[in-house]
């Protein structure tokens, strides 16, 4: 039906074609290059509608949500890049998209970035992903009632929670690919730290996603520990050890994060090339831990947990 409608020379029903493309993408995991070449331009056309009314907003939101749901099939740059850039830039100026629509536009582009590294300049320095994602996270963080517990009051996740989780998943992919670091990058880490602190008591899924985002930063190289220090991520994670209500699952998440730091700073091949930078990074980390009074906590956990012992020993003896 999609192919037949797209091939019509006259009386093509664009609304029907858009609906069919959305249904097709939501239903199928593997999409052929032929269908990608039809669906992506069709949905981008629908998403480019700049009319300001609730009905159009919902149509645009659905088109962008469908685009962001395309699995691992790579689209050719000429099919999407100019159009998605225009959609994002127009929203940055006029704020015409819903939160979910704007997040979906970025999710689609970041998924392409995960395949095509050459998009980094556009995403980081032209469209300013880190700045935009950080601001969206902070706005959504204000919209959630973090005091509500896990009981009957929270039987299902809110739209804001789901959008937050999707943003964090997009952030993880960005951190996994991004090489360019600037103050906006640190700002995004700060925004995730605020979310982490808000979610720690009652929102375990978001809490875990935040720590996973921090781990992705570490996995890009040991010098990224400095960005986590500047963004307050290491402080926020270590502060959790002061909490008497910290459960075993949370302790496990914290130890996994600290172990990822340990693995990075144990790489002797890296250190031979960047020994001076390593010393500065280690000193910064150690000074921060001493300033905030974490040394006793580190020592108390040292003997009880094998994984944490590795982290402690690397910091103390390396």
Q: What average pLDDT score do residues 167-186 get? A: 93
The residue length of the chain stands at 318
Would you say the C-alpha torsion 35, 41, 43, 46 has a positive or negative sign?
negative
Greater confidence, 279 or 211?
A: 211
pLDDT per residue over 56-89, tens digit each?
999 999 999 999 999 877 889 999 999 999 999 9
Burial 34-45 (b: 16+ CB within 10 A, else e): ebbebbbbbbbe
CB count in 10 Å sphere of residue 168: 21
Name the least confident of 20-34, 43-57, 219-233.
219-233
Phi/psi of residue 12, nearest 5 degrees: -70, 130
Would you say the C-alpha torsion 28, 31, 32, 33 has a positive or negative sign?
positive
Q: What average pLDDT score do residues 195-205 get? A: 91
Q: What average pLDDT score do residues 94-122 get? A: 94
What is the distance between the alpha carbons of residues 289 and 242, in angstroms, rounded to a whole number?
13
Q: What is the mean pLDDT of the chain?
A: 84
- DSSP H helical segments within the chain, as ranges? 2-6, 14-27, 33-47, 54-68, 77-94, 99-115, 120-121, 129-143, 159-177, 183-199, 204-218, 225-231, 233-239, 248-265, 268-273, 275-291, 295-302, 306-317
CB count in 10 Å sphere of residue 9: 5
- For 277, half-sphere exposure in the C-beta direction (CA atoms, 13 angstrom radius) is 12
Residue 242, pLDDT > 90, answer no
Which pLDDT score, from 0 to 100, does residue 277 have?
Answer: 66
pLDDT per residue over 250-292, tens digit each?
777 887 887 788 777 666 555 455 666 666 666 676 676 666 5
Question: Which residue has 């593997």 as its token pair?
Answer: 30
């Amino acid at each position: 039906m999609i192919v037949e409608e797209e091939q019509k020379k006259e009386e093509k029903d664009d609304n029907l074609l858009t609906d069919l493309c959305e249904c097709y993408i939501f239903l199928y995991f593997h999409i052929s290059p032929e269908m990608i070449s039809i669906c992506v331009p069709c949905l981008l056309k629908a998403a480019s509608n700049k009319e300001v009314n609730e009905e159009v907003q919902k149509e645009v939101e659905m088109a962008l949500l469908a685009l962001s749901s395309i699995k691992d099939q790579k689209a050719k740059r000429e099919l999407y890049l100019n159009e998605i850039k225009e959609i994002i830039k127009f929203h940055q100026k006029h704020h015409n998209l819903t939160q979910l629509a704007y997040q979906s536009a970025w999710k689609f582009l970041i998924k392409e970035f995960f395949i095509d590294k050459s998009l980094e300049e556009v995403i980081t320095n032209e469209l300013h992903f880190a700045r935009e994602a950080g601001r969206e996270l902070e706005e959504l963080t204000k919209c959630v009632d973090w005091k509500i517990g896990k009981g009957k009051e929270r039987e299902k996740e809110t739209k804001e929670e789901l959008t937050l989780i999707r943003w964090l998943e997009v952030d993880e992919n960005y951190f996994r690919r991004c090489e360019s670091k600037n103050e906006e990058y640190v700002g995004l880490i700060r925004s995730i730290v605020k979310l982490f602190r808000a979610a720690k008591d009652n929102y375990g899924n978001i809490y875990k996603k935040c720590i996973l985002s921090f781990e992705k930063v570490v996995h890009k190289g040991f010098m990224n520990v400095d960005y986590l220090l500047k963004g307050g991520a290491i402080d926020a994670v270590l502060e959790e050890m002061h909490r008497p209500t910290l459960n075993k699952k949370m302790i496990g998440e914290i130890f996994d994060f600290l172990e990822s730091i340990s693995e990075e700073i144990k790489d002797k091949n890296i250190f031979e090339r960047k020994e001076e930078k390593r010393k500065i990074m280690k000193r910064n980390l150690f000074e921060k831990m001493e300033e905030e009074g974490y040394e006793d906590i580190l020592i108390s956990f040292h003997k009880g947990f094998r994984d944490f012992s590795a982290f402690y020993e690397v910091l103390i003896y390396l």
